[in-house]
Amino acid sequence: MTYDQLAAFLAVAGEGSFSAASARLHKSQPAVSKLVRSLENELGVDLFDRREYRATLTDAGRLFLERAAAVIESTEALRSFGMQLSGKVEPIVRFAVDAVTPLGPIMDVFRGVQARYPLVRIELGTERLAGAADALRELRADLAVATRLGIDAAEVEIARFCDVRVLPVARFDHPVATCGTPIPPALLRAHAQIVLRDSARGSASPSLNVLEGGLRWTVTDVAAKKDVILAGMGWGGLPEHVAADALATGELVSLEVPEFEAGVMELFVMRRRDRPHGVVAQALWEALRRGGRDAGAPASAGKARRRQRRR
């Protein structure tokens, strides 16, 4: 039994087909099929049911999957430890964060790692919705902080980082902010909801807190979303730490929208199980796991929100 056999098995199980697994592993489909078949022959059991269009795990395959993922994870951890012992420091670490992520705690971690490894270049990219999963899957990121949207736990190691509260808001003089509560659903849908566009390159991910049948405008970053809402061009959900100042001054008003599904978004730090992790990436991983915390808004924002609701 070899590492390549287990990696091929996990890739097929995760992707659901040999062709998709071959693209992910950058190997030919016959090579991936041969690796999986040789593993099955060695074990004396079929791990996949090949009678269907998709490569479906057999009962034995599902049981074997858990053990195989643990072996790959342990192997990569050992490889990372070996790199640390050898003192090999990677020149670049690529980091992807979901657009709603509070950057303060991450910058604290970056400063500490930069002091230890001053020559390493950190590339920080902002992703939206399933974009972080795409970045990890396509090897455009070594680490990510994002929701579980689009994440396969068998492929990605995750640890809780923080919670972000998402508030539906509008400018204080916008029609949905001045109509009183409850807001008529028809009024919400008559005015543009400002939403983030998914940055994933693959298939479309499920929408989050987007009202069905309503008018919507899309933007590509949270700062632009806030500016559009502050301009009175529409309403939408903003992370509480982003909206806090405008809520405190009364420029923005928090809305009550029962159809919002996710009042709190759970963010996780994550990395791939099947890739070696360098010294700096390992240091970032450990620091972010230790530094995870609730990213709740300042108390002043909560007080402002309560005042606005009483208007």
Q: According to the model, what pLDDT value does residue 85 have?
A: 61
Q: Which one is predicted more confidently, 308 or 25?
A: 25
16 CB contacts (<8 Å, ≥6 apart)? 54, 55
Range(s) of the chain covered by CATH 3.40.190.290: 164-264+298-309
Residue 255 binned pLDDT confidence (cut-offs 50, 70, 90): very high
- Report DSSP letters for 194-234, one per residue: EEEPP--SSSPPPPSS--TTS-EEEESSHHHHHHHHHTTS-
> What's the CATH fold of domain 164-264+298-309?
D-Maltodextrin-Binding Protein; domain 2 (3.40.190)
Cβ–Cβ under 8 Å, residues 79 and 281? no
- Tokens read off for 130: 């399933």
Count of CB atoms situated within 10 Å of the CB of 75: 16
Q: Which CATH class is domain 90-162+265-291?
A: alpha beta
Q: Which one is predicted more confidently, 263 or 43?
A: 43
pLDDT digits (tens, 9 = 90+) for 275-286: 888 889 988 999
Range(s) of the chain covered by CATH 3.40.190.10: 90-162+265-291
pLDDT digits (tens, 9 = 90+) for 286-296: 999 886 543 33
Question: Is 50 exceeded by the pLDDT of residue 13?
Answer: yes
Tell me which architecture the domain covering 3-85 has in CATH.
Answer: Orthogonal Bundle (1.10)
Tell me the residue ranges of DSSP E strands in the chain. 48-49, 56-57, 92-98, 121-127, 143-146, 156-171, 193-196, 216-219, 236-239, 252-254, 264-272
Range(s) of the chain covered by CATH 1.10.10.10: 3-85
Q: What is the DSSP letter of 184?
A: P
Question: Is 90 exceeded by the pLDDT of residue 152?
Answer: no
pLDDT digits (tens, 9 = 90+) for 84-130: 566 667 889 999 999 999 999 999 999 988 888 888 889 999 988 78
Report the DSSP beta bridge partners of residue 144. Answer: 96, 270
Exposure string of 132-171, with b = 16+ CB inside 10 Å and e = fewer, is bbbbbbeebbbbbbbbebbbeeebbbeeebbebbbbbbbb
